[in-house]
Amino acid sequence: MKNWLFRIYMYLMKIGARFTKIRENKIVVLNGAGRSGSNGYLFAKYMKKNHPEYEITVVEPWPSSHLPLSTWREIGAAKFILTTHQPFKIHAKQVNIQFWHGIPLKRMGIMANNTKRKTDMRNAKLWQKNADVVCSNSDLYETLMSACCAIETTKYQKVGFPRLDALKHPALSKAQLLTALFKVQDEQAQIAIYMPTFRYEMEDEQIMAQIKAGNFFALPDFDAESLNESLKAKHQYLIVKLHPYEMQLLGMQTSHYSNIAYLNNDYLFAHDYDLYELLGNTDMLITDYSSIYFDYLILDKPIIFVTNYLRQYEQKRGLLLGPYEEVVPGICVKTQADLLAGLSAPDRKQQKRQYWLHLTNQLQHESACAAIYTLMANQY
């Protein structure tokens, strides 16, 4: 019932905004990616700094049923509508540039195990109708996206993703990041960041109970005190960035441990950062089934994969590439003991990282933001 009401609301608001005159220099970013590698938010920052002749409005969160009519009129006035999730526009004369929010690793749309055919077909039609440009950085990306969303090949433009610009040019130095999150100075420091996928969709109460109890890794032998002591002994620091739902479930905004820090969206919003503006000065990524690891490849730094719920995740939603343990360019761990061993071991996966980097990023230009601006200015 709520879905139907929301769709009616969206339809009525689109009608109300349709009579607004389009302004040639107006850009609206519909940001559904928050501050976790948001191409839309980062592109808006670039445009405000480098092209003040354009009028930029960032609408977030998106979609929302709480937007005032004035915001809808801003959307209706935009020549360019940039989206991080479903393609959207009000007028046929508007140009929708689809950024999306990651290279797909998890199955989605018509490829997923946990979606409905009717919904998948409706979403595929939205891509066909509303997406004018789909930003890309590789043939592999286009193949994976089209497999999931039935996108025509003519819509793709290999211009890259703004989030990778931020990853290559961090807003904070490593020392500043260490001071901001851990309140320490340590010239020997190694900073790891843990970013899992949204685990709630596995619908496993046991996993959620472990996270609520403080076991953010959901590992069978988790011991936070032991983990912290091991990190401390090796001058290692762990940033934990969970999905907002899991952070709320955890119930703690600050860590009680010297070498473990929680990074939440409140901090990012308060300091006007996107996560990717900090990520470049970390030394190691720990993840599970999140596609963030594809982006992290450009840094050529170690990646550890937590795979204790791999089979369950494959059954519930599914992955686009496999076998998983053979595909991923890093060691796979299922226990805290394995994780600690991985944090201590020298990295031997550089060649595999480079292999996957060449498959997932064929672009050589310095700035995706500049390439996207050029596309907008010259072709539209």
For every residue of 310-379, DSSP letters joined together read HHHHHHHT-BSS-SHHHHSSSEEESSHHHHHHHHHSPP--HHHHHHHHHHH-----S-HHHHHHHHHHHH
Q: 29: domain CATH number? A: 3.40.50.11820
Residues 6+ apart with CB under 8 A from 47: 27, 54, 56, 369, 373
Residues 6+ apart with CB under 8 A from 375: 133, 157, 159
- CB–CB of 294/257 below 8 Å? no
Here the tokens at position 137 are 């950085």
Distance CA 238, CA 253 (A): 15
Query: Can you list the positions of beta strands (E) in 170-321?
Result: 190-195, 236-240, 260-262, 284-287, 303-306
DSSP state of 21: P
Residue 170, SS3 per DSSP: coil
- Please, is 7 exposed, middle or buried when counting C-beta atoms within 10 Å of its C-beta (0-12, 13-18, 19+)? exposed
In this structure, the answer to whether residues 49 and 115 fall within a common structural domain is yes
In this structure, the answer to whether residues 87 and 227 fall within a common structural domain is no
Overall domain count for the chain: 2
In this structure, the answer to whether residues 87 and 149 fall within a common structural domain is yes
Per-residue pLDDT of the chain (380 residues; tens, 9 = 90+): 467 787 888 878 888 788 888 999 999 999 999 999 999 999 999 999 999 999 999 999 998 888 988 999 999 999 999 999 999 999 999 999 999 999 999 999 999 988 889 998 999 999 999 999 999 999 999 999 999 999 999 999 999 999 999 999 999 999 999 999 999 999 999 999 999 987 766 667 788 888 888 888 989 999 999 999 999 999 999 999 988 777 777 776 678 899 999 998 889 999 999 999 999 999 999 999 899 999 999 999 999 999 998 888 888 889 999 999 999 999 999 999 999 999 998 788 999 999 999 999 999 888 999 999 999 999 88
In this structure, the answer to whether residues 249 and 132 fall within a common structural domain is no
In this structure, the answer to whether residues 152 and 250 fall within a common structural domain is no
pLDDT at 1: 43
In this structure, the answer to whether residues 174 and 279 fall within a common structural domain is yes
In this structure, the answer to whether residues 97 and 221 fall within a common structural domain is no
CB atoms within 10 A of CB 56: 20
43: Cα separation from own chain's centroid: 14
- CB–CB of 135/97 below 8 Å? yes
In this structure, the answer to whether residues 123 and 96 fall within a common structural domain is yes
Residue 129, SS3 per DSSP: helix
Distance CA 91, CA 194 (A): 41
7 is in which domain, residue-wise?
Answer: 2-160+365-379
In this structure, the answer to whether residues 140 and 105 fall within a common structural domain is yes
Query: Is the whole-model pTM more than 0.85?
Result: yes
In this structure, the answer to whether residues 208 and 130 fall within a common structural domain is no
Residue 237, SS3 per DSSP: strand
Q: 287: domain CATH number? A: 3.40.50.12580
In this structure, the answer to whether residues 231 and 351 fall within a common structural domain is yes
- Read off φ and ψ for residue 207, nearest 5 degrees: -65, -45
- C-alpha to C-alpha distances, 351 to 31, 248, 300, 368, nearest whole angstrom: 35, 38, 10, 25
In this structure, the answer to whether residues 79 and 205 fall within a common structural domain is no
DSSP state of 102: S
Here the tokens at position 121 are 């077909």
Here the tokens at position 362 are 């064929």
Distance CA 148, CA 157 (A): 18
- Please, is 363 exposed, middle or buried when counting C-beta atoms within 10 Å of its C-beta (0-12, 13-18, 19+)? middle
Q: What is the DSSP string of 32-53?
A: -STTSS-HHHHHHHHHHHH-TT
Q: Look-up: residue for tokens 């879905």?
A: 3
Distance CA 50, CA 45 (A): 9
Query: Can you list the positions of beta strands (E) in 221-259?
Result: 236-240
165: Cα separation from own chain's centroid: 14
Handedness of CA 312, 316, 317, 323 (dihedral sign): positive
